[in-house]
Amino acid sequence: MSFIKKVGAFTAAVSVAALMVAGAADAKNFKIAVGDSGGSSQEATGLGFKAALEELSGGNHTATLFLNGQLGSEQDTVNDAAIGTLDMSLLAINNITPFSPTVGVFTLPYVILSLEDAEKLTQGPIGQELTENTINDAGVRIIAWTYTGFRVLTNSKKPVKSVADLEGLVIRVPKNEIMIDTYKSWGISPTPMAWSETFAGLQTKVVDGQDNPYTTINAMKFYEVQKYVTNIRYIFSIEPLIISEQVFQELSAEDQAIILEAGKAATQASADFLREKEAEIKALLIEKGMEISDPENDEAEFIELATTAVWPKFYESIGGVEKLNAVLAEIGRDPVSQ
């Protein structure tokens, strides 16, 4: 069943009678900034939200997706949403971290090890706590979660199977301290670069490589400028859909409930999309000429260096080591000691 059909099945099961009342707020077309292109997990989340919003509101509300960073960089859209000049944005969680540092717990290397981990964390009490933090810290509210998959490493120069193989490569990363320090733990200094500049940077050889999930690599056509893929699993990419808290509070209680319910449907649409499409996309990238390899020794050296060097450095910013341990406990993993 396609993810759009599943959205329909999900929303059909929701009792909309309690959400729709006479005299609801005026019809609204919500503008959603989307960092990635068509065919991406972000688009799947956006389309899932739009479909559910229209159904739950009886056609009173809709949404328009502005793909591929048309409305500005992902971090700029957080600012725009915070001041109420933009309704919503779909963006990588690392671009919210500068505004609300505690969400950085989801970007610590090797914390989330599966889609199931990501679903449990984002849809449970920890996800709710982080949502409250973003409201207080950044003036935006997370209403849905996009599950994009592990950020695999690509480059245009050589196969990478070990930490030593990274030597000599110039790797683009987002302007995110956790991700920058992860690469530093592996012995190289990455190049922070805005998402909107990344394709051109790869094309002109300003940088040799980058990391992103398979769905993003395909949607952004990185196969045109990258040859080698390494299946590192250091970050499971989570990309929330945020709404301006100012815009949200201006809605009626009924419309707020509709927005939140549509967000749940969008989250499910995203999970369905990843489960259905990732293997297919990986095969397509091989057809496009990309060569895929796994790190040696089950990534052991990457994991040891990153968790030892990076986790302790960011305990304070994420809310303390106890916050990390709460996350680990939620997904059945052993705690770390201080």
- Predicted confidence (pLDDT) per residue in 180-224, tens digit: 999 999 999 999 999 989 999 999 999 999 999 999 999 999 999
Q: Say what percent of the chain tops pLDDT 70.
A: 92
Give pLDDT, residue 143.
98
**Mean pLDDT, residues 39-58:** 97
Q: Which amino acid is at 137?
A: D
Total H helices, total E strands in the chain = 13, 11
Express each pLDDT in 289-337 by its tens digit. Answer: 999 999 999 999 999 999 999 999 999 999 999 999 999 999 999 999 8
- What is the mean pLDDT of the segment spanning 11-29? 54
Number of Cβ atoms within 10 Å of the Cβ of 71 = 19
Q: How far apart are CA 92 and CA 101, in angstroms?
A: 14
Give the residue among 280, 281, 318 at the shortest CA–CA distance from 94. Answer: 318
| pLDDT greater than 50 at residue 12 | no
| Whole-number Å distance between alpha carbons of 91 and 42 | 8
Q: How confident is the model at residue 173 (pLDDT cuts 50, 70, 90)?
A: very high
Any idea what DSSP says for residue 156?
S
Q: What whole-number distance in Å separates Cα of residue 14 and Cα of residue 297?
A: 47
Average pLDDT over residues 99-120: 96
Tell me what the pLDDT averaged over the chain comes to. Answer: 93
pLDDT value of position 1: 53
- The C-alpha angle with vertex 200 and arms to 199 and 205, in degrees rounded to 5, equals 100
Measured distance CA(106)–CA(236) in Å, rounded: 8
Whether residue 20 has pLDDT greater than 60: no
Task: Give me the amino acid identity at 97.
Answer: T
pLDDT confidence tier of residue 26, bands split at 50, 70 and 90 = confident
* Residue range 123-151, pLDDT digits in tens: 999 999 999 999 999 999 999 999 999 99
| pLDDT for the residue 337 | 83
* Nearest-angstrom CA–CA distance, 145 and 258: 16
Q: Does the structure show a pLDDT above 90 at 25?
A: no
Tell me 235's DSSP state: -
| Cβ pair 181, 249 in contact under 8 A | no
Tens of pLDDT, residue by residue over 242-274, are 999 999 999 999 999 999 999 999 999 999 999
Element (H, E) at 238: strand 236-244
Neighbours of 116 (CB within 10 A): 12
Amino acid, single-letter form, for residue 102: T
List, as own/partner pairs, every contact residues 197-202 make where C-beta atoms lie below 8 angstroms and the sequence separation is at least 24, other chains included: 198/172, 199/225, 201/172, 202/156, 202/172, 202/226
* Exposed/middle/buried for residue 265 (C-beta within 10 Å: 0-12, 13-18, 19+): buried
Structure tokens at 281: 């996309």
Q: How far is CA 92 from the centre of its chain?
A: 4
Burial (Cβ within 10 Å: 0-12, 13-18, ≥19) of residue 143: buried
14 has pLDDT over 90? no
Extract the tokens encoding 191: 């190049």
Interval 59-75: pLDDT, tens: 999 999 999 999 999 99
Which amino acid is present at 269? A
Eight-state DSSP code of residue 335: P
Contact 173, 210 (CB under 8 A): yes
- Which residue, 257, 243, 259, 262, is CA-closest to 49? 262
DSSP-based three-state secondary structure for 225: coil
Q: Which helix (H) or strand (E) holds 125?
A: helix 125-138
